[in-house]
């Protein structure tokens, strides 16, 4: 887990998902994992970590026994998934609005192009309409 690119909340979420999938962790090599364990133990998201605390120099220490995700941890995962689903829906809606605006812009530009074409060719159109009317007048 890379601390710099992910929020702690996202790291906790990923940790809980991996723990629930019985993945193993190198607790000694990854400070972010230790922070996740500490947060999860304190919030009751997990059990199976004995003596989870900070040392005098601020290092997080614990002894994993039989780590597992608890009900509160599953609730956290569910809430996180719901938040992300809402974010995805909002982004899709924003993209949809953007696409509608682009489509409307294209439609308006095509109407302007037709109007300009009519204006540019107005003298020819009027002349041809006059010819058609005179032919119809002769026939009628």
To the nearest whole number, what is the mean pLDDT of the chain? 87
**What's the confidence (pLDDT) of residue 3?**
46
Under the banding of pLDDT at 50, 70 and 90, the label for residue 64 is very high
Place of tokens 């605006």: 101
Q: Is 35 exposed, middle or buried (0-12, 13-18, 19+ CB in 10 A)?
A: middle
Between CA 65 and CA 49 the distance in angstroms is 6
Q: Per-residue pLDDT averaged across 113-128, rounded?
A: 82
**What's the confidence (pLDDT) of residue 111?**
84
Q: Where are the beta strands (DSSP E) in the chain?
A: 46-54, 60-69
Under the banding of pLDDT at 50, 70 and 90, the label for residue 5 is low
Between CA 44 and CA 56 the distance in angstroms is 23
Between CA 99 and CA 38 the distance in angstroms is 45
**What's the confidence (pLDDT) of residue 2?**
45
């Amino acid at each position: 887990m890379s601390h710099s690119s992910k929020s702690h909340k996202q790291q906790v979420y990923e940790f809980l998902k991996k723990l629930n999938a019985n993945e193993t962790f190198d607790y000694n090599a990854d400070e972010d994992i230790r922070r996740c364990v500490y947060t999860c133990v304190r919030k009751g998201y997990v059990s199976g970590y004995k003596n989870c605390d900070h040392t005098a120099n601020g290092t997080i220490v614990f002894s994993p026994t039989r780590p597992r995700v608890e009900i509160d941890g599953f609730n956290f995962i569910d809430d996180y998934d719901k938040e992300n689903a809402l974010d995805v829906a909002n982004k899709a809606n924003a993209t949809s609005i953007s696409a509608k605006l682009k489509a409307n812009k294209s439609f308006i530009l095509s109407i302007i192009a037709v109007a300009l074409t009519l204006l540019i060719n107005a003298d020819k159109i009027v002349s041809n309409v006059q010819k058609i009317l005179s032919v119809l007048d002769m026939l009628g």
